[in-house]
Structures are given as structure tokens and as C-alpha cells.
Chain A
Amino acid sequence: MSTTHFGFQSVDETEKASRVRGVFDSVATKYDVMNDLMSMGLHRAWKAYTVMVANLKPGQQVLDIAGGTGDLAMAFAKKVGATGRVVHTDINEAMLRVGRERLINHGLALPTLVCDAEKLPFPDAHFDLVSVAFGLRNMTHKDAALREMARVLKPRGRLLVLEFSKVAEPLRKPYDWYSFKILPKLGQLVAGDADSYRYLAESIRMHPDQKELKALMKANGFGHVDVHNLSAGVVALHVGVKC
């Protein structure tokens, strides 16, 4: 029986997806307000930077994986226009429902579907750009998911992975203090759920750092990977080119 990590715990591989689903079912309705509080609004700047790096053109095809409440999908849809298409996906139905409602409230009806990033229901070489923001960390088989993302990309297509990463040396102690002492209390106060935010802090520490994720992407279909550290490495944007 294979095991994997769920935060600092070791769990059976078959169990991880359902436990992650439990976390997101619990926080879905408070997700956006908690993002603003936790990051002090910085997540908006990280996502705006991601959209800028994406540099999408009208008519392009985009797949947003773990798209959740739809921040990136909404911004991408404005860039690709009526001739392009953004497919908004997530493995978690509760998150996707919140995102879909939000998109519709903004006048956007995007194709939206629940799907597992490790088994994408799309043909080979279909998308110009695939994005996954704050989602790869929660996937059980990151290598399989990355291979799938490479498969559905056109040659020279790009994968944008926005994810928490390893913070620069001088900030490590205060960042750990904030993550393990403040974050769970904030989660309890606002979302009524300290455990999910303790999981968030733990899962960030267990996620591959900048170099490891770059190596993982290069081993799974991306011949070139650029790493953009944001906010001193609190978050990193990895841009992989399929080649």
C-alpha cells in the first residue's frame, strides 16, 4: 500500500484526495475573504502578475486547472476574447460552484467541469496555455498531473504553476511563526475551521521548493522552465514550455 503526505501526516494514497476535498468543502464559501486576509491582499498581485506573464492573445485556448473561485479564468477570458476559450475546471465541486456563480455574476459563461488533473478529459495538443494556481500542492501524483498538462498542451505551449514555495532565508522564522501560530487562529475566527488552515501551512512545507518543482517539470514534458519568485519566495510562478 503506497502512502503520501497530507500536511505533516502520512496517509494512504487513496485517502488524500478525499481529505483534500474535505478541506475545500469546508472553506469554499469563505475562500476569497480568507485569501485576502491571509495574504493581506497580495494574492491579487500574484495573480495579476501571472496574467501578465501569460500574455494571452485573442483566440487562444486556455485550460485553468484547480480554478476554484475563478480569479484567473475571469482574467484570462477577458484576454482571449470571444474567439478564444477558457475552460474552468476543479476537482472540487463546491469550489467550482462558487466560481461558476461568480463568473456568471460578472457576465461570463465559461465551460466549467469537475475533473481530475491526473486524468484530463481533453485531446492531445489542444491548449495554448494551461494554468494551475495554488492547486498542484494538493495533487497526489504531481508527476502524473504534470505529464497530463504537457499532453494537452500544443508544442511550445506553456504551463503556468502559481504555488506557495520556499521563502528567502531572512524571512523564514517570521514566516513560520505567522503560518503556524496566526494562520490557524485566523481560520478559526473567520471560517470556523482551524484544521484546514493548519493543513495549508503544513502542505506548503511539504511541497517541492523552487528547484525541486523545476526539476519535476523538466522530467515530465517541459524542456524549459523559468522560475519567478514573488514576495521573496512566499510564492513562485513556474513557467514551463512544452518542448
Chain B
Amino acid sequence: MLNTFLKSFQPPAWLLAEAQQKALLLVNHVLMQEPEAMARVARHQGRSVQVVWRQFTVPLMATPAGLFEWIEAPTGLSLTPDLTLTVVEEAPLNLLQTALAGEKPQVRIEGDIQWAAELNWLVDHVRWDLEEDLSRLIGDAPAHTLVSGAKQLADALKAFVARRTA
């Protein structure tokens, strides 16, 4: 029932755009912590990738800085991306379960294989150093305590999900 509600929920356009923008800022922030990742993305500057999940479409382009930006397609024109990644699972709760189990969601890939391989490298190798970011705000020791606590909580959740799905 919750899945049905979440699947039919349509947020206002401005809120959706803002949430997508915030997610993109996070992706760029994480990339900025890894010079190797930025160098790899920069090699593909100008190439586009479209991430699709249900009715949501996120068209992105690699910039010369080795980061991503939103593609604003001119009104009336449709974008033909170099690569399209479609998340197959439509139910939000099932996706959450997959993430909690530490697995990648099933993704359908269409388009430039070399570009897809580079993005796959990013997914496998780039991680958000949350502790480093938190330490800039609250100091090293509290950041370490907070992140350790969050990891324990995540591990407990994963174990719970594994027991329920076994």
C-alpha cells in the first residue's frame, strides 16, 4: 500500500527540480573529493547521460571541470543522450531494500559502452567521505562518533532486512 502511494505521488515541479538540483550538487561534491574521478569525467566532457526512473528523467552532461551539469533542453526539443540508464525496479521500497542490502539496483543500459564503463568505474570506486565533511562542521572526534553510530545503525538495518527477506 505504501509502495502504491509512493508510486502515485507526484511532487510539485519546483520541489522536484530543487530536489534533483540538490542531488546533483551532492554528486559533484563527492566527485570533487576524488581527483581521479574528475579526470575521468573530464575526458568525456560534452557527453550526456540520462538517468530514468519511473516518470523522472535526469539529463546530465559532463563538463570540462570533470563534474556534471543539468542539461536544459530548449522547449519543444527532445534530448538524444549518448547514454541512457534506466532503473528497472519501480517500487521505491524495493529500491530501498536493495540499497540496504548493499546491492546495486538493476539498470538497463543503452548507448555508448565506453561512457557506460567509465560511469560504472565511478559507481564502484567513488564514495562519499561523510566523516571528512562532518569534521569540518563539528570537529574530528564528534564526526567520528556520529559516523560510527550511523554505520552501526545501517548494519543493524541491513541485518533486519536480510532476516525478513530470507
Contacts and interface: CB of A to CB of B under 8 A. Distances in A.
A225 interface: yes
Contacts of A241: 63, 65, 67
B106 interface: no
Contact of B65 (A170, A224, A227, A229): A224
B148 interface: no
Interface in A168-186: 168-170
A107 B14 CA distance: 45
B72 interface: yes
Contacts of B63: 223-224, 241, 243
A19 interface: no
Contacts of B137: 52
A225 B67 CA distance: 9
Contact of B136 (A52, A156, A169): A52
Taking each of A55, A170, A224, which has the highest tally of chain B beta carbons within 10 Å of its own beta carbon? A224
A79 to B, nearest CB: 10
B18 A223 contact: no
A224 B63 CA distance: 6
Contacts of B28: 226
B64 interface: yes
Interface string A216-243: 0000000111111100000000000101
B161 interface: no
A211 interface: yes
Dominant secondary structure of chain A at its interface with chain B = strand
B65 A168 contact: no
Interface residues of B, number: 15
A174 B136 CA distance: 35
Contacts of A156: 65
Interface in A136-166: 156
Contact of A228 (B12, B25, B67): B25
A224 B28 CA distance: 11
A228 B63 CA distance: 17
A150 to B, nearest CB: 13
B136 A224 contact: no
Contacts of A228: 25
Interface in B60-88: 63-65, 67, 69, 72
Contact of A211 (B25, B64, B72, B136): B72
Given A55-B136, A226-B28, A243 B65 contact: yes
A55 B21 CA distance: 20
A169 B14 contact: yes
Interface of B: 12, 14, 18, 21, 24-25, 28, 63-65, 67, 69, 72, 136-137
Given A170-B14, A224-B63, A243-B65, 10 more contacts: A55-B136, A168-B18, A169-B14, A223-B63, A223-B65, A224-B64, A226-B69, A229-B18, A241-B65, A243-B63
